[in-house]
Amino acid sequence: MKKLHPAPLSALTGLLLYAAWPESPLTFLIFVAFIPLLWLERQGIRRARFFGWTYLSMLIWNIGATWWIWNASVPGALGALLLNSLLMCVPWLGFHLIRTRMGNNFGYASLILFWLSFEYFHLQNWGLSWPWLTLGNVFATHPDWISWYQVTGTSGGSFWILLVNVLLFQWLWQLTKHHTFRRVTLAVTVALVMLPIFLSWLTTSIPFKLLKVRKYQIVIVQPNIDPYEKVETGTFESQLQKLIRLSDSAIDYNTAVVIWPETALIGENLGIEEDHIKENRLLKPLWGFLRRHPHINLFTGMESFRIFDVRHSPTAIRFVDADKYFESYNAAAILDTGGLVQSYHKSRLVPGVETLPFFLRFMAPLFEKFGGTTAGYTGQDDRNPLITTNSTFKITPAVCYESIYGEFLSEFSRNRADLITIITNDGWWGNTPGHLQHRDYARLRAIETGHWVVRSANTGISCVIDPHGRITQSLPWDTDGVIKTSVPPTPELTFYARYGDCLSKLAAALTILLLMWHLSTAIKRRTGRV
C-alpha cells in the first residue's frame, strides 16, 4: 500500500476533533479522531516534518472549537490559538521519539502518558493555562455516558479516548498493511467504547433523590446587560436597579439565597472598596433591598479592591499620589443587611485579559481591557467555601473561567463545601458556541463532586444542574429573567472530590520514570555499555 500524503491526514485529525467537540452531535468521532495522525507518524517521517503536520492538526482543532475568543480579545485569541496548538505538539513529539527508539508498545503507551501529563500541567496555575480543550471535556453534552467521572474526573475521559484511538489504529494498521483481521482486538475495543457508556447509563437512569434532606430556595438572576455597556461610566445605577427589580419579582418568604452574576457590582474607578463597602454611595439601593428581605443572603460578583500600607504581593499597585498600595479583585461575595459577610477573589485568571505571566509583561499594552485588567487581578491561596449566615449552604465560588478547573474546585469540597455556584459573564463572546461550551463544562463539575450546581450568567445561559450533570432548569441566551428553585446541600464527597485527579498524577509519575529510563538507556548506548 502506498504512503498517504501527510497533508490530508493532518487536516483530517484536526477536522475530526473539531467535528466531535461540543456543541456538535458527532461526539463519537472523538474515538477515531487521532487515527489519521497516528497513521501519518507510523508511515515514517522526520521529526521536524512530523512537528509541522502535528501543529497543523492542533491548530485546525483550536481554531474550529474556540474561534469565538476573537470576539473578546484579538491578542488573547491569537495567543491562545497559536500557543495552545504549539503546547499540544509536545506530547506528540515525545511519543514520536519514544516509539522510534523504544518500539511500538512503549511508544503508544507513552502517547497516553504524555498527553495526560500535559493536560494535568495545563490545568495548573502557571500563567498561560488554557485547558478548554481538555479531551475529557468532549463528553460534556453526554453526562449519561460519564457518571464514572466522579472517580476519575475528565482525565478518565482523556484516557478512554486515547486508548480507543490507539487500539483502533493498531487494528486498522494490521488489517491494511498485513491483511490480518484481529477479531479479539476489535471486540475488546468495541467493548471499551460501549461498556463505560452502558454502566454509566445504568447509574444515571436512577432518579436522583435525597430523602430527609432539607432543600433551600434559591433565586438566580440573569439581568442580560450588554457587557460592553456595563463598564461605561454612569450606567451602574440603572444596572443595579434592574438586578433589584428582577430579584424582587421572585423573592418570597422561603427564599434563602439570591445569586447575581459576575461583576454585577462594579462601582466607580477601581471598583468597590471591600473594607468600606457600606460607605459606597452607589450601593445605597442595595442596602435598602437587603433590609426589605432580611432573611436572604445575596451571593454576587463584584469588581473590588483593597488598600494596603505596604506592597505585600507582586500584583499590588502603588497609588500615584500616595504612599499606599491597592490590589484589584474579580470577586465573589456574600452580603446581608450587615454588609460584606465574606468574599472570595478569583484565583484562576484568564491569560492575557486578567493576568500575564512575568515573562510576558512587556506585551501588556497589546491587550485590551475586557472585563479584566492587564495590570493583573490578585487571587487568593486558600480554598475555603463561603458560608451563608442563614445556615443554608457552604458555597464553592466559581467565577467564570474557574468552572473549567475540576481539581481546583474539588479543593473547596474537601473543605466541606456543599453547593457549587458559578457566576459568569459570557456575553463578551456573543452568541457563539463559547457560552454553550462553558455551560456544559459546568455539568462535568457536578458529576465530579456530586454537588448541585447553580449558575448565574449575565447574558445567559443561567441554569440549575443536578449531581448527575443533568440540567433541570435554565434561562435562554440573551434574555433577562429569574429562576426560582430549591436544592439541598450535598456535603458527601465523591472519590474525585476526596482524592483529586489520581489518574493524572499517576500518569505524570510514570512519565518521569519512562523519561528517566529512556535517558539512562541512551547514555548507556553512547558509552558502549549496551
Q: How do residues 115-154 score in pLDDT, each as one tens digit?
A: 999 999 999 988 788 899 999 999 999 999 999 999 999 9
Grid cell digits, residue 263 = 461583576
Q: Give 123's contacts (C-beta < 8 A, 6+ positions apart).
A: 129, 131, 134, 405, 406, 407, 408, 501, 504
Cell of 143: 453526562
Q: How many CB atoms lie within 10 A of CB 342?
A: 18
In the three-class reduction of DSSP (H, G, I as helix; E, B as strand; rest coil), residue 299 is classed as strand
What pLDDT does residue 212 have?
A: 64
Number of residues that this document lists for the chain: 530
DSSP H helices, 415-501, are 433-449, 495-499
Task: Identify the three-state secondary structure at position 452.
Answer: coil
Least confident of 230-244, 285-299, 387-401, 505-519: 230-244
Per the CB < 8 A criterion, the answer to whether 117 and 504 are in contact is yes
CB 260 within 8 A of CB 301: yes
Backbone angles phi, psi at 326, to 5 degrees: -135, 150
Assign 263 to helix, strand or coil: coil
pLDDT per residue over 250-294, tens digit each?
Answer: 999 999 999 999 999 988 888 899 999 999 999 999 999 999 999
- From 348-352, 354-358, 503-507, the region with the lowest mean pLDDT: 354-358
- In this prediction, residue 373 has a pLDDT band, given cuts at 50, 70 and 90, of very low
Percentage of the chain beyond pLDDT 70 is: 92
DSSP assignments along 300-340, one per residue: EEEEEEEEESS--STT-EE-TTSS-EEEEEEEEEEEETTEE
| Residue 419 · residue 487 · CB < 8 Å | yes
| Residue 499 burial by Cβ neighbours in a 10 Å radius (0-12, 13-18, 19+) | middle
Whether residue 501 is predicted with pLDDT greater than 90 in this model: the reply is yes
- Whether pLDDT at 366 is above 70: no
Helix (H) / strand (E) containing 85: helix 74-102
And the C-alpha cell for 245? 427589580
Residue 153: strand, helix, or coil:
coil
Residue 111 backbone class (left: φ over 0; alpha: ψ -120 to 50; beta: rest): alpha
- For the stretch 65-117, pLDDT in tens is 999 988 877 777 888 899 999 999 999 999 999 999 989 999 999 999 999 99
DSSP 351: B
Burial class (CB in 10 A: 0-12, 13-18, 19+), 197: middle
CA distances, 178 to each of 104, 172, 183 (Å): 16, 10, 14
Q: Residue 265 has what DSSP assignment?
A: B
Q: Are strands 394-399 and 419-424 parallel, antiparallel or unpaired?
A: parallel
Spatial separation of the C-alpha atoms in residues 394 and 287, rounded to whole Å: 23
Helices (H), 205-268: 227-230, 236-248
Cα separation values, 284 from 229, 234, 361, Å: 22, 15, 38
Q: Distance between CA 243 and CA 308 in Å, rounded?
A: 31
What is the model's pLDDT at position 34? 98
pLDDT at res. 476: 95
Buried b / exposed e along 33-60 (16+ C-beta atoms within 10 A):
bbbbbbbbbeeebeeeebbebbbbbbbb
| Of 144, 206, 209, the residue nearest 447 (C-alpha) | 144
Q: Which amino acid is at 506?
A: L
318 falls in which pLDDT band (50, 70, 90)? Answer: confident
Q: Which three cell numbers stand for residue 77?
A: 485569541
Q: Which of 221, 366, 343 is nearest to 271 (CA)?
A: 343
Is residue 86 within 8 Å of residue 133, measured between CB atoms?
no
Report d(CA 476, CA 519) in Å as an integer. 55
| Identity at 226, one-letter amino acid code | D
Instruction: Say whether pLDDT at 374 is over 50.
Output: no
DSSP string, 452-519: -EEEEESSS--EEE-TTS-EEEE--TT--EEEEEEE----PPPHHHHH--HHHHHHHHHHHHHHHHHH
- What type of residue sits at position 372? G
**Higher-confidence position of 378 and 20:** 20
| Cα-to-chain-centroid distance, residue 111 | 23
